[in-house]
């Protein structure tokens, strides 16, 4: 069997890039989390990234998403490229710092759809990632992860130099909630066969970040991951949802509250516990109203106007942190806003 042991360098960096795009399991997702191996969905190869340092657009080798909606930036280098020792680290950090501000979730979804023109998004997420819930909930997770800075950076090469290993281990200890990994993919040729062997390296097992299993939560697990303030708030909110015939749809990190409109679930907010990147938080989202309800502009405008008084404005919605600082006046206003939106959607 010695013919299998002849290590061969890759002909070019482009060859290695193409292999990663075609065979994403080479990213060693099973070694990053043995209990819940990472699955990968390619968003785009040669992903455009804004760079202030380069005064314009630069290109990341690959952008992937995992089953928890964590954006994963992959930069590929051959070990013979001297930039792999230090320069690539600064390059990756530049990409990452700008990704959280400039990556568009809508563009990512469009790029994914372009790879699977004959499948709907639900089928794609199910077959590629094992995600069995509403696609809207998945893309909302992607958006939340970006806003929270929960991204993953992977340096990939045929051999990872010791200097890069030390840098990766240091960064992964210091960067939270972001993750940093180094993966080497060695190539062996012989007997007409080619064997590719991925290995996670430069990552001490005691500092490896834990991923939350991508399984649907239920009410019990959700409440187990709340503090006292969260339990009080969400108990009242779920009681309110029952009294107002709202549908609660559980997802891997939380739930959405939905108004029924002509048989469609219209999500008016999403609630998260301490398993999410933002911990205990409510996100008020407008995308579901905008795509499923007529007269959506006036409803969204009123929703936003009312939320200005109690929540933090984001680029495409609002955020309400659930903690001991949340006062009775805010909570009272919160339910008045929900009553109004439910009434507007339900009366159409």
Any idea what the CATH number is for the domain that residue 286 is in? Answer: 3.90.1150
Q: Is 126 helix (H, G, I), strand (E, B) or coil?
A: helix
Quote the pLDDT of residue 115: 94
Higher pLDDT, 241 or 172: 241
Domain that holds residue 57: 2-207
- The answer on pLDDT for 84 being more than 90 is no
Rounded to an integer, the average pLDDT of 300-306 is 89
Quote the pLDDT of residue 293: 84
User: What band does 294 get if pLDDT is binned at 50, 70 and 90?
Assistant: confident
Mean pLDDT, rounded, of the chain? 86
Residue ranges in 248-327 assigned as alpha helix (H): 287-292, 296-307
| Residue 212 covered by a domain | no
Higher pLDDT, 271 or 206: 271
Tell me, yes or no, whether 197 and 225 share the same domain: no
Tell me, yes or no, whether 174 and 35 share the same domain: yes
Tell me, yes or no, whether 196 and 233 share the same domain: no
Percent of the chain with pLDDT over 70: 91
pTM of the entire predicted model: 0.74
Tell me, yes or no, whether 30 and 173 share the same domain: yes
Tell me, yes or no, whether 28 and 79 share the same domain: yes
* Phi, psi dihedral angles at 49 (to 5 degrees): -135, 140
How many domains does the chain fold into?
2
Which of 104-108, 273-277, 321-325 is least confident? 273-277
- The answer on pLDDT for 158 being more than 80 is yes
Tell me, yes or no, whether 188 and 74 share the same domain: yes
For the domain that residue 25 is a member of, what is the CATH number? Answer: 3.40.1350.10
Tell me, yes or no, whether 28 and 149 share the same domain: yes
User: What band does 1 get if pLDDT is binned at 50, 70 and 90?
Assistant: very low
- The answer on pLDDT for 235 being more than 60 is yes
Tell me, yes or no, whether 262 and 190 share the same domain: no
């Amino acid at each position: 069997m010695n013919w299998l042991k002849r290590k061969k360098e890759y002909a070019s960096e482009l060859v290695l890039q193409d292999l990663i795009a075609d065979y994403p399991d080479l990213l060693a997702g099973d070694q990053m989390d043995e209990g819940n191996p990472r699955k990968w969905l390619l968003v785009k190869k040669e992903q455009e990234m804004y760079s202030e340092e380069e005064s314009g657009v630069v290109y990341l080798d690959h952008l992937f998403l995992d089953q928890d909606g964590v954006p994963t930036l992959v930069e590929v280098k051959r070990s013979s490229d001297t930039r792999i020792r230090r320069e690539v680290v600064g390059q990756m950090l530049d990409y990452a710092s700008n990704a959280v501000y400039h990556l568009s979730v809508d563009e990512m979804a469009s790029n994914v759809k372009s790879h699977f023109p004959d499948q709907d998004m639900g089928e794609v997420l199910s077959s590629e990632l094992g995600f069995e819930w509403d696609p809207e909930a998945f893309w909302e997770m992607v958006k939340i992860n970006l806003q929270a800075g929960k991204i993953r950076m992977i340096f990939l090469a045929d051999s990872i130099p010791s200097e890069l290993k030390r840098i990766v281990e240091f960064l992964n200890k210091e960067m939270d909630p972001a993750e940093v990994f180094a993966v080497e993919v060695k190539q062996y040729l012989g007997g007409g066969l080619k064997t590719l062997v991925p290995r996670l390296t430069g990552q001490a097992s005691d500092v490896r970040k834990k991923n939350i299993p991508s399984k649907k939560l239920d009410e019990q697990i959700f409440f187990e991951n709340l503090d006292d303030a969260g339990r009080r708030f969400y108990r009242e909110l779920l009681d309110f949802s029952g009294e107002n015939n709202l549908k609660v749809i559980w997802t891997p990190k939380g739930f959405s509250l939905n108004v029924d409109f002509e048989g469609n679930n219209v999500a008016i907010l999403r609630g998260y516990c301490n398993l999410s990147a933002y911990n205990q938080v409510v996100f008020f989202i407008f995308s579901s109203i905008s795509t499923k309800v007529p007269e959506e502009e006036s409803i969204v405008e009123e929703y936003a106007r009312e939320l200005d008084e109690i929540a933090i404005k984001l680029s495409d919605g609002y955020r309400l942190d659930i903690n001991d600082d949340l006062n009775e006046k805010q909570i009272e206003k919160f339910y008045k806003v929900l009553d109004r939106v439910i009434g507007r959607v339900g009366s159409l």
